[in-house]
Structure 1
């Protein structure tokens, strides 16, 4: 059977990238839905800027109908940031939170992706745990799972180990992790340790991509401009798949390609090549797992 694939928001976004301008895709949302279905994808991810534009111009019911008809069973929305802050920054974060929860409910999303802290001075640990636990309670009431993403440039959740320790303290079934090839590789975590580090119940989202052995530019530039298609870099993505599968994870496999090269392709070409290369790597990884 073919692996189920979810195109995370940036894979189908065209000329858009994280924290660059308003983050809106250069492609109309219905075109993205149609081309994802044409290329055989099974799920879609959307960033809040695109969600809000779709709400204004199309309406969530119409978008939900289009996604349903396209057979895109898996849906995720992103990304909730600054949920641990206070004051005016917290007011903005709460508006973002409410918008993402509304979009998830309207579109039938299963997951909401959540940021860890990138600021040089992270919040008090106790506050971070308390706020994530409260956010998890709201997610459980809404029937969705939170996917917190460890990132090597995060000031408080840089590794899978740190993410697991945090979730153990939060102690809520609606809180999980995003396990992304680029972030795990750049954090220096050996793939074979993934099953011992991360219990299956903590695996909320898995994202595949590739990269050069060493960062091209800064870590931030590398992650938003220089990711590669699975199997076309040095991150041994088939081995990543092998060891993620060893946790018991069965999909859907997210594909998050954020790169200048992919952004330059026509949408159909970008989605076709992303699906093809990812499925080849997944097949290779699962074959390694079965041997």
Structure 2
């Protein structure tokens, strides 16, 4: 039987906030988010690091463990570590965040640490990046998790091929990719290329939908205009078939960001995200 287990990524339950806000913290309490994800049918959930720190202050590590366990959330991830590469402008702050993220992953049995590429447009050295990626992957493996980098069409890693080249150069078994179908579609990546991705290099998958036309910049479009699965123009079924051909069996992440979606009560937002993605996966 095909696995259709679903995972609510960070922004799917974050409520009225976004990656473009000066303060990205979710206005929704950790317990409320976990309960909403579970009630909708999700078995996993994602959180910003800053939201996990707030949850720790409120509930403590034991309380957080109990909330996850009581709601059947068996997989969770934290994001988004940036400036982890050599000579990054805020590397000192990034290293502090890295230490904190790894601490929480180990304490709460997290599944993966999600990191981002460089969106600055500055020159970069793939060999030095690969060395640092391998080091971070090793640190993540030491706490029982995997390291996942998300390629972005406007970054120094714009395609799945670019992301895979970095991961393969690093060569650490704990390192891999987050494959977000929005980024696949906007970069013009073929489904054949997705199907050819080694499954051992896929750490996570994220599904959403959108209109064929980009409104504004790529960043603005991805933050303000995503749609629920099946409500846009993306070939989600084709992408899912390509991932299954690659050997991916799930879980399937759902990442919905839009100016209208984030205004919904979190329980209703989670329900709509789950049901729309499940319908596509089951079809």
TM-score band by shorter chain is over 0.9
Change (3 A) 1:185 1:87: closer
Which residue number in structure 1 is paired with residue 249 of structure 2?
250
Q: 2-side partners of 1:19 and 1:49: how far apart?
A: 15
Is the 1:22–1:49 Cα contact (8 Å) retained in structure 2?
A: no
Q: 2-side partners of 1:283 and 1:242: how far apart?
A: 12
SS in 1 for 2:15: coil
Which residue number in structure 1 is paired with residue 144 of structure 2?
143
Q: 2-side partners of 1:150 and 1:265: how far apart?
A: 28
**1:126-179 deviation line (CA, Å, top 9, x unaligned):** 221111011111112111101111110112x11001111111110110100000
**1:204-259 deviation line (CA, Å, top 9, x unaligned):** 01000011102111101011111111111111111111111111111110001011
Matching of residues 60-79 of structure 1 within 5 Å? 60-79=61-80
Is the 2:7–2:254 Cα contact (8 Å) retained in structure 1?
A: yes
Matching of residues 68-107 of structure 1 within 5 Å? 68-86=69-87, 89-107=90-108
SS in 1 for 2:205: strand
CA RMSD between the two structures: 1.3
Q: 2-side partners of 1:87 and 1:12: how far apart?
A: 30
Is the 2:47–2:79 Cα contact (8 Å) retained in structure 1?
A: yes
Which residue number in structure 2 is paired with residue 158 of structure 1?
158
Is the 1:61–1:106 Cα contact (8 Å) retained in structure 2?
A: no
Which residue number in structure 2 is paired with residue 210 of structure 1?
209
Question: What are the ranges of 5 or more consecutive residues in structure 1 without an aligned counterpart?
Answer: 285-291
Mapped pair 1:224 → 2:223: yes
Q: Which moved more, 1:267-276 or 1:123-132?
A: 123-132
Matching of residues 9-48 of structure 1 within 5 Å? 9-48=10-49
SS in 2 for 1:254: strand
Change (3 A) 1:173 1:71: same
* 1:19 CA displacement: 3.8
Q: 2-side partners of 1:72 and 1:144: how far apart?
A: 16
Which residue number in structure 2 is paired with residue 271 of structure 1?
270
Matching of residues 114-193 of structure 1 within 5 Å? 114-155=115-156, 157-193=157-193
Q: 2-side partners of 1:233 and 1:73: how far apart?
A: 30
Question: What are the ranges of 5 or more consecutive residues in structure 2 without an aligned counterpart?
Answer: none
SS in 1 for 2:90: helix
**1:56-90 deviation line (CA, Å, top 9, x unaligned):** 22212211111011001111111111001437611
* 1:185 CA displacement: 0.3
Alignment: residue pair count:
282
**1:14-70 deviation line (CA, Å, top 9, x unaligned):** 001114122111211111111211111110100112011112222122111110110
Q: TM-score by structure 2 length?
A: 0.96
Is the 1:209–1:256 Cα contact (8 Å) retained in structure 2?
A: yes
Change (3 A) 1:222 1:75: same
Higher relative contact order (CA 8 A, sep 6+): 2
